[in-house]
Amino acid sequence: ELKVEQNPLFLSMQEGKNYTIYCNYSTTSDRLYWYRQDPGKSLESLFVLLSNGAVKQEGRLMASLDTKARLSTLHITAAVHDLSATYFCAVDMARETSGSRLTFGEGTQLTVNP
């Protein structure tokens, strides 16, 4: 059974600081997604990582994937209040017949304080 673990689960940081969220998973996969969820809202796709060594950046967020270590990271640079949200990683156990099937981590609730 695939397990996906994120840490930390709760993160309170100051504006301007850097931090990294970690996503570990238990089974071989070369496809991983990061999503953002604002309170009371649905999930919004942030990054799609498709191969070992993949790195994607959007604004102050950068995601990477190491399939050998079964680890993805989401790095936050110079945090701003607007980044406050819950971040989920999801591992894709794609199947030949039916396409992707995601297993989600527990989520990391990020609060950026002024």
* Binding interface with another protein (CB under 8 A): 4, 9, 31, 33, 35, 41-45, 48, 50, 88, 90, 92, 94, 96-107
| Rounded least distance, CB 15 to another protein, Å | 26
Q: How far is the CB of 79 from another protein (least distance, A)?
A: 23
Check: CB of residue 102 under 8 Å from CB of residue 92. Answer: yes
Dist. CA 97–CA 114, nearest whole Å: 48
Nearer to another protein, 73 or 77 (CB): 73
Q: Which is nearer to another protein, 107 or 110 (CB)?
A: 107
**Which of residues 20 and 29 has its CB atom nearest to another protein in the complex?**
29
CB of 55 to another protein, least distance (A): 16
Strands 102-104, 61-66: pairing is unpaired
